[in-house]
Every structure is written in C-alpha cells, then in structure tokens.
Chain A
Amino acid sequence: MTDHILSQNSPAARDIDIARSRETRRHRFNAALRYALLTGVGLLMLYPLIWLIGASFKTNSEIFANPGFWPESPTLDGYIKGWKTSTPYSFGTFFVNTLWIVIPKVIGTAISCTAVAYGFARFDFPFKKVLFSALIATLLLPNVVTRIPQYLIFRDLGWLDSYLPLWVPSALAGDAFFVFMLVQFLRAIPRDMEEAARVDGATTWQTLIFIVVPLLMPALISVCLFQFMWTMNDFLGPLIYISSVDKYPISLALKLSIDTTEAFEWNRVLAMSVLSLAPALAVFFLAQKYFIDGISSGGIKG
C-alpha cells in the first residue's frame, strides 16, 4: 500500500520520475553525440585505407577518373597482374624473401633481448652501469650515423647482398630499445618468484626459461609485434644491402613496380600494397588479443 502511494500518487515521487526521465534523455543524447563524433573522426582517419582497398579493385584509368572509393566495375586485374610483377619472379617470391628476414629477426630479437635484459635487470657485474649507459646512449644515436661504418663492416665480412646484415645485429640484442623496454618491465616484476625458483633448485637458465620468460610474455609479445611491423616496413635496410632482384623483400618489390619504365600501373601497386599490409594487420590483430590478455593477467599481485 505504501509502495503504491509512493510510486503513483506522491508529488515528490512524480518529480523524481520526471527528473529521472530527463536525465535518461540527456544521457542518451550525449551518448549519440559522442558516438557520432567518434565515428566521424574514425572514418576520416580510416579513409585513406578504405580508399586504398577500394582503388585496388579499380582499373588504372578509373583511379584518376573516379575520386570515390567504391569501384564502379570492380576487377581483380590489379591483383592478378600485380602478383605476376614485371620481373621473372611473382610477388610470392618477395613475400617469402620478407619472411626470411622477418622470422630470424623476430626470433633472434626475442631471445637475445630477453637474455641481455635479464642480465641487466637481475645481476650485478663489473661496469654494469657504464655498459647500461652505453646501451641507452645508442638509443639516442641517429641511425644514419652508423649506416656507413656498418656497411663497411658487412662488406668486409662478405655479407652484402645477403639477409645477414638485416637480421644478425638484431639477433645479438642490437636493438637497444627492446632491451631497455624489457629491462624496465623486469624491474617492475618482484624477484620473489625467481628466488623461489632458485630455492626450488633451478639454475639461472632454468629460472630464466621457466619463470622469467612466462612472466615477461606480455612485454615479449609487444617486442615481437614491434619488430615484426618495423621489419616489414623497413625500406632503407634492404635498399642498402640487397642488390639482386630475386632477393628483394616486399618493401623493395613495391618500389620496383613504380620504377619500371612503362607507365605506372597504379592499380597493381595499390593491390600489392593491400596484400603487403595484410600480414602486418593480421599479426597485429591476432597478437592484440594476447597482448591485452597478457596485460590483464600479468598484473602480479601477492
């Protein structure tokens, strides 16, 4: 009875109802506005990519005739001809070539940077501070400065026109940024687990492999992700060291289609660009899940 009076008849209750519905309406309006704005800006950011994908299905002449992204008469011509390339090799060769650089580089980076970071974060050894400062200093060094000496070294080693100069330095923890990133991550992980492992009888390497690496996984995934994307996108490295067309990675191969003397076949270039974006995007979206999982479960609480 009291409930009935309160909810139906009391003027105060009616006031509350009115205020509540007004509040709900305002909330909905705000949300709609927010989403409209976000969608608008998001589309604006994505438009070049959307246009790229759309244009890759256009004919070469339509690309310049039709400013919209939707192809009037969609064709796979760009993909088919682009895949064949103007060289004796298909685009598949260049994909495989890229993998020959990316795979050893990513694996090498993950292993070497973990080992080096573990050393810096967990052990005391002579000149540790000096060495770590040197490592950080190389972070600040512009890449261009080391290009020529590096080239000379690799030439003397006889590594020119091979993939070795592209991945060996990274596989020896040459990327100071990743080492630094892992050191910082390790410093935030309490040592108790490693000490417990040592008490359990694990050696230093066993501790690293069975305890530290799993704890480090979120950071390691981001390291691999960054290394993968940066290597896929690297243009200057292959340009300097790779001279035979049959060894070209994707980044150089794309340029190849522009370089030919015949008139640019833009739809082929765009189609191959879409293809070369695909692995990076796929890996990113796959890893993103683990990355987020890693962050949410990596929070080590007592």
Chain B
Amino acid sequence: MARLQLRNLEKDYGSFRAVHGINLDVEDGEFMVLVGPSGCAKSTTLRMIAGLERVTGGEIRIGGELVNDKTPGDRGISMVFQNYALYPHMKVRKNLSFSMRLKRRPAAEIEQATQHVSNLLEIDPLLDRLPKQLSGGQAQRVAVGRALIKKPQVFLFDEPLSNLDAKLRASMRVRITDLHKRLKADGQQATVIYVTHDQTEAMTMGDRICVMRDGHIMQVADPVTLYSRPANTFVAGFIGSPEMNFLDGTFEGENSVRAAEQVIVLGDEFTKRISGRSEHVTLGIRPQHLRIVAPETPGTIKGKLTHIEFMGHEVYLYVDIGPKRLIAVVPSASYDRGALRDDWVWLSPDPKGVHLFDRQSGENISLAI
C-alpha cells in the first residue's frame, strides 16, 4: 500500500501563503506529474511530501499513515534532485549504497543491491568513478539509482531532466517511464510524484497530471482529458503547443459567438455541450483545430495572414483579426500555398476542438457531454 494522500495541505512563508490547502490522491503505482509555471508551488509541495519543508497545515499520508512529523528518512520515500545532488566526495558505489550503509545493512546485501541497481540502470562501469567524472546523463542515472536502492514506497522527482540537453532529455524520459513500468511488473511499489515545468514531459510521462498555479490545483486528469477537456482557461492555455487561441466574446443567438466583431457559428452540436450560460465568454480554439476555408464562408473567422512558419510536417499560420492574433497549425500536405502573406483568409474552427470559458471565473462551460 503506497497510496499518497494530501489533505488541505498548506504552506506559509511568513505572511505569504505558497500552498492553499490542496487535496490530491495518488494511487498505488501511479505516475503522477505535478506541472505548472515557475512559482506555482509544485516543488514546495514535493518538498513537503519529502519532509524537507515543514507543513503549515493539513495532512500528508503515505500508505494511509500520517507522516507530517516524520523525518524524511522515515517516510519511505526517495527523491531525485534537479542537480543530482550526488555526494561529490564519494564514488558512485558509495553514493548508491549510502542509505543502506547508514542502516548498517550487511555488506553482502549492500553489494548485491548495488549490483542489481547498477545493472538495471546500466551504470556498472561507472561504479568506481567520482561524480565529477560523470556526464550529466550518467549523473542523473546514478541519482535515480540512489533513489531506487532504498526500495521506497514513493519516488519523488524534482525536475530531474531540466539540466540535460534536449536529446538526452528525450531518452531519459523513456528510460524513467520504462523503469516505472518494469518496477510495477516486478511487483515493487512504484508510486511516482514527478515535478516538472515542461508540459511535454508531463504529457508523455504521467498516468495523471496535476496542473498547479499559484499554490492551487487547477485540474487533475490523465493527459488526454487534460488536452481535450481542460477545466479552465489556465489549463487550456498551459497544455498544448502552440498555445490555445483565446477570443473574448458574447453569445449571439443560440449557437454563435460574437468575438472580434465577427460572428462565429459553432453549430448545434456544440451548443449541447454548453453547461452554463454566461454573458461574457472566452472562446478557446486550439491552433490544430482551425482550418482555412473558401473565402467569404459565412460564420467563419476572417483575418489577415501576417506570418507563415514552415515547421516541416506542419505549417504555422499567424492570422491577425483586428488587434488579436490567432495561430493556426495546418498539415504541410494540406497547405497548398493558396494563401500568401498579407492575404485575407477565412478560418473555420472545428467545433469538436472549441471550448467556451466563463470570462469571469475562467471555468470551462462546454464540458456537458
């Protein structure tokens, strides 16, 4: 049992409240990613779970047990730090076995565990090196190994890949998710809390993702739900690249929205999804859900094409409508250079990819179905 529960967790720094009573349940063996912009208290939350930061209010339970007042060493957790935090004066072997040596485990057991972990992470040729003789990727693997050897109930990762270059990051991403799957298959408890500011990491690694902002949880969901049914403008804007287009507008009739002095028809199908009816709304359209249609098509968005970026398999089109700028991403194959820079174009949103948010609260009001 290595369920992690956060109940009304709060953290104050003097008069500043960093974490505002968050609630989160992470199931046994789940890979949970905490993601958010810098300063959203995701790392603080992780450090509270680790016991490195004192809890101001609320409860942390690991495997049902309240751990608020336990030392980090007694919580059954292990942690991988952003800059590895390997002990610089110890060889890799000693780094890996430090926790076991503290517990005075028998030498044979330590040796066996070290071998097992180093085989698993392919670091056995590095065992007799000092941390300064390792590359970034190797150091990160050793850091993961040091976490692994403790056989913890919960693994905590604090932006572990942010010091690596893009290529290595991609391979480490796969390595960590593979490792998680392998541990689970071996029957080891492998609940993971993974903090990152990188939405790609979040989307590719997490079973579920917890999006945070200013010490509040904005949404907890699996990657697909997060992308296709964002709970609010923040999540909608944070997840997805390029960012979702937002247009402020008002309802015009039953199934149309007036925004940027144009009437955008969303169709009856879309209307069924709307759960609340508010005066002022924000229309959210993912760039991938805009396509160019024949000129003067009624109910579409007319704008001027200002930039065209060719990205290889797709093309980014920057379209100005009045003071607002929309981005449309179209497959290169379907972009036939019919529209050129400074041409007027008509964009039609795919109603399936359109979201409507209450402008006041930012809540998504188009999630009825």
Contacts and interface: CB of A to CB of B under 8 A. Distances in A.
A196 B77 contact: no
A34 to B, nearest CB: 34
Interface residues of A, number: 22
B85 A192 contact: yes
Interface residues of B, number: 29
Contact of B89 (A196, A199, A201, A215): A215
Contacts of A236: none
B163 A201 contact: no
A214 interface: yes
Given A206-B102, A300-B88, A302-B84, A196 B73 contact: no
B74 interface: yes
B78 interface: yes
B362 to A, nearest CB: 36
Contacts of A199: 50-52, 72-73, 77-79
A192 B77 contact: no
Contact of A193 (B51, B74, B88, B163): B88
Interface string B43-55: 0000000111000
A215 B88 contact: yes
Given A200-B73, A200-B146, A202-B73, A195 B103 contact: no
A61 B300 CA distance: 113
B227 interface: no
B85 A198 contact: no
Contact of B85 (A196, A201, A203, A217): A196
Nearest to A300: B88
B182 interface: no
B73 A192 contact: no
Given A201-B73, A201-B102, A202-B73, A196 B87 contact: yes
B136 to A, nearest CB: 8
Interface string A148-159: 000000000000
A251 to B, nearest CB: 37
Nearest to B147: A199
B156 to A, nearest CB: 8
Interface in A10-58: none
A197 B98 contact: yes
A190 interface: yes
B71 interface: yes
Contacts of B139: 302
B72 A198 contact: yes
A198 B89 CA distance: 17
A211 interface: yes
A198 B73 CA distance: 6
B73 A301 contact: no
A196 B103 CA distance: 15
B88 to A, nearest CB: 6
B83 interface: yes
B333 to A, nearest CB: 43
Contacts of A190: 83, 85
Contact of A297 (B51, B98, B132): B132
19 contacts: A190-B83, A192-B81, A192-B82, A192-B83, A193-B86, A193-B87, A193-B88, A195-B79, A196-B87, A198-B71, A199-B51, A199-B52, A199-B77, A200-B73, A200-B98, A200-B150, A201-B103, A302-B84, A302-B163
Interface of A: 190, 192-193, 195-203, 206, 210-211, 214-215, 217, 297, 300-302
Instruction: State the 5 A-B residue pairs at the shortest beta-carbon distance, nearest first.
Output: A201-B73, A192-B85, A302-B83, A200-B99, A214-B89
